[in-house]
Amino acid sequence: MASIPDTPPEPAAEQISSIMGTEINQHRIHHLELQIRSAGGDTIELKRARNSLLNISIRIPPEILGHVFYWTVLERRILPRLRGGSLHVLLVCHYWQEVASQTPRLWSFWGHLLVHWYQRFKLSRSVPADLVLNGYIVGERSPPVREALRLALREHAQTDIINSVQLWNERRPILEQVLAALTPDEGEVRTSSIRIINLRLVNASRFMARLRFPQLTYLCLSTGTQVVDLRHLGEHTGALSTLVLTLENHGASALPTVSELLLLFLYNPRLEDVTLHRLLSRIIPPGFPIIRVPLRNLKRLTIDGEAQSIFQLMKRLAYPADLEAISLMVADYGPSSICDTLGKVALDYFQLQSGRRVEVGIDVRTLRKSISVQADSILEGADGNAMGTSARFIVYVPLFTGRRQYVQLCLDLVGCVPPLEVTAFRGELSARIVQRVIKTMPNILDLHLVHAELEPGFLRHIPTTPNVRLLPSLRRLCLEESSTHEGSWQPLVELLAELSADGNDISLTMLEPQEHICRHVLRNIELLVAAFDVDGSVDADCPFDWCGVTEEG
């Protein structure tokens, strides 16, 4: 009985299609060649059909074609032989619309200058665009927005094919003319499909009042942007997920009220990230009722401003159970309001669960020089158990102040709420302040010391509990611009030896490290260095792992 031969493997679908396509093309090409030879008249159509079958076409990814079109059409300076207005690129690909539709980011960005935007508009009048003006206008004379460009902007706005409006140019008159071209006529309110608005140094009152933005997800009104009535933001939006507002002081009558802010939150229940800058106390009308506005999707909340304003707004918000982080920056002119915010807001109104993070910062640049706060008089009546021991509380002090009394103020505030677990501290510290940090924040995870003045034996002045290690939770210690003399490292070695007594792993980061510190063998400590020594040398016998950068970068 004859053996059955092995069946060859079937080719893949692509191979079958390629083989069949080649055979069919050869047959059709031969047939077209015969027709061309026998035809006596016009054979242009037959030749075109034959030429289209000579090579099997390979579809180029739209992304690659998009880059080819971009550099050919817009960057004519790299192809100087192309005449002005030449559009030979249109003959390259039959699937122009498909390419444009599949590369929206490439085709919607028309450059950072009005000149670039107008040049691109002349080529693609029906393509959705991102109006992003971050640079300066070169060669423009007064008026900077010419009539042709104004009409181009107006046409794009009327046909509703603008994806985003991001105006960060420094020339306010230009930005206002651009917004005026995008704004509907008086008495008309039009719906727009704009998804991103990012404005700076411009009066956007009319623009926001005469357009509805049902698809707007990102709204940033930064420094100098005027929106007199926030009601328009609430009534004309509804899908915001990110909100960044800088509430400038344009006079008492122009300040937004807390009711307008709350209405804005009510109209946009999908808000996930909210940032409010320069929140002033005057926006809270006296006697305004406390109405809790639910923000069920809120993940991150950041507010900086006067303490009383933060306090009044925060107690009118209801926070979701999965809130990730709250960051407060108090920029007030006295310690009493700071204490009021930290005590009443962070403790009484943040019923935080395990895993949440609260960042409370103090903008010491705006504090007065004369600050004298006693620990026993701060946060009177604050319920320290409201947050629980699992909440994380971060204190940050800017480094450029040079005023250690502000650091002491922060420590006084933190020392009054022992249930809190402070995870990070950053500031200019003396030996006495370091002692206070260790005593008042035993559960600290991250300690950043700047200009640390540590004296030999300073740990002996810190009362300790028998059989309890100092700072048991510490994971990272950073020293920045600390003393560089060899004798000054003795307290550091003493501290590290105490911290690592129980074999706890600590990551130590030092800026401008010295070679002599590496000669001390400290067990179970990993030394990560952010810069080499002055001469770039490293001791070969150093027991640590070095990770550094050169002066060039």
- The full set of domain ranges for the chain reads 23-57, 454-553
Question: Angle 78-82-84 (CA atoms, 0-180°, nearest 5)?
Answer: 110
Interval 516-535 mean pLDDT:
37
CA distance 97 to 124: 11
pLDDT digits (tens, 9 = 90+) for 88-109: 444 445 556 556 555 666 666 6
Count the neighbouring beta carbons within 10 Å of the beta carbon of residue 145: 22
Cα atoms in the Cβ-side hemisphere of radius 13 Å centred on 546: 21
Look at 59-63, 168-172, 347-351 and tell me which has the smallest mean pLDDT.
347-351
User: Does residue 290 register a pLDDT over 80?
Assistant: no
pLDDT digits (tens, 9 = 90+) for 225-248: 777 677 778 889 999 999 998 876
pLDDT of residue 273: 93
User: Does residue 281 register a pLDDT over 80?
Assistant: no
Confidence grade of residue 8 (pLDDT, cut at 50, 70, 90): very low
Question: Do residues 297 and 271 lie in contact, with contact meaning Cβ atoms separated by under 8 Å?
Answer: yes
User: Does residue 3 register a pLDDT over 90?
Assistant: no
CA distance 527 to 546: 7
Q: Which residues contact 133 (CB under 8 A, 6 or more apart)?
A: 112, 113, 114, 117, 166, 167, 168, 169, 174, 175, 178
pLDDT of residue 400: 33
What proportion of the chain, given as a percentage, has pLDDT over 70? 35
User: Does residue 9 register a pLDDT over 70?
Assistant: no
CA distance 532 to 535: 8
Confidence grade of residue 24 (pLDDT, cut at 50, 70, 90): low
Confidence grade of residue 537 (pLDDT, cut at 50, 70, 90): very low
More confident position, 329 or 339: 329
Q: Residue 405 is encoded by which pair of tokens?
A: 């009394």
More confident position, 474 or 218: 218
For 51, list phi and psi in degrees, rounded to 5.
Answer: -65, -35
CA distance 538 to 519: 11
Look at 51-55, 68-72, 364-368 and tell me which has the smallest mean pLDDT.
364-368
Confidence grade of residue 282 (pLDDT, cut at 50, 70, 90): low
CA distance 247 to 254: 10
Look at 244-253, 266-275, 469-478 and tell me which has the smallest mean pLDDT.
244-253
pLDDT of residue 186: 81
Interval 461-467 mean pLDDT:
59
pLDDT digits (tens, 9 = 90+) for 314-329: 778 887 777 777 776 6
pLDDT of residue 466: 59
Cite the beta strand spans of 233-365 per DSSP E: 242-246, 273-279, 293-294, 300-305, 317-318, 325-330, 357-362
Map residue 445 onto helix, strand or coil.
coil
Q: Residue 513 is encoded by which pair of tokens?
A: 């490290």
User: Does residue 80 register a pLDDT over 60?
Assistant: no
Look at 195-199, 286-290, 533-537 and tell me which has the smallest mean pLDDT.
533-537
Q: Report pTM.
A: 0.55
pLDDT digits (tens, 9 = 90+) for 109-139: 666 667 677 776 666 667 677 887 765 544 4
Q: Does an H or E element contain 416, and which?
A: none
CA distance 361 to 328: 6
Comparing C-alpha atoms, which of 235, 239, 234, 227 is closest to residue 271? 239
pLDDT of residue 173: 80
Question: Do residues 452 and 483 lie in contact, with contact meaning Cβ atoms separated by under 8 Å?
Answer: yes
User: Does residue 501 register a pLDDT over 70?
Assistant: no
Confidence grade of residue 274 (pLDDT, cut at 50, 70, 90): very high
Look at 47-56, 64-73, 275-284 and tell me which has the smallest mean pLDDT.
64-73
Interval 275-283 mean pLDDT:
75
User: Does residue 509 register a pLDDT over 80?
Assistant: no
More confident position, 56 or 313: 313
pLDDT of residue 467: 58
Comparing C-alpha atoms, which of 160, 113, 118 is closest to residue 135? 113
pLDDT of residue 166: 85
Comparing C-alpha atoms, which of 252, 245, 306 is closest to residue 277? 245
More confident position, 205 or 287: 205
Interval 405-412 mean pLDDT:
49
User: Does residue 526 register a pLDDT over 50?
Assistant: no
Single-letter code of the amino acid located at 342: L
b/e 149-164 (16+ beta carbons within 10 angstroms → b): bbebbeebbeeebbbb
Comparing C-alpha atoms, which of 282, 201, 277 is closest to residue 246? 277
Surface-to-core class of residue 384, CB atoms within 10 Å of its CB (0-12 exposed, 13-18 middle, 19+ buried):
middle
Count the neighbouring beta carbons within 10 Å of the beta carbon of residue 471: 20
Confidence grade of residue 286 (pLDDT, cut at 50, 70, 90): low
Look at 385-394, 408-417, 440-449, 463-472 and tell me which has the smallest mean pLDDT.
385-394
CA distance 501 to 131: 60
Interval 46-68 mean pLDDT:
67
Helices 147-158 and 114-123 pack at an angle, to 10 degrees, of 60
Interval 261-285 mean pLDDT:
82
pLDDT of residue 389: 30
Comparing C-alpha atoms, which of 458, 460, 426, 419 is closest to residue 442? 419
Averaged pLDDT score across all residues of the chain: 62
Interval 56-63 mean pLDDT:
60
b/e 172-205 (16+ beta carbons within 10 angstroms → b): eebbbbbbebbbbeeeeeeebebbbbbbbbbbbb
For 383, list phi and psi in degrees, rounded to 5.
Answer: -85, 100
User: Does residue 11 register a pLDDT over 60?
Assistant: no
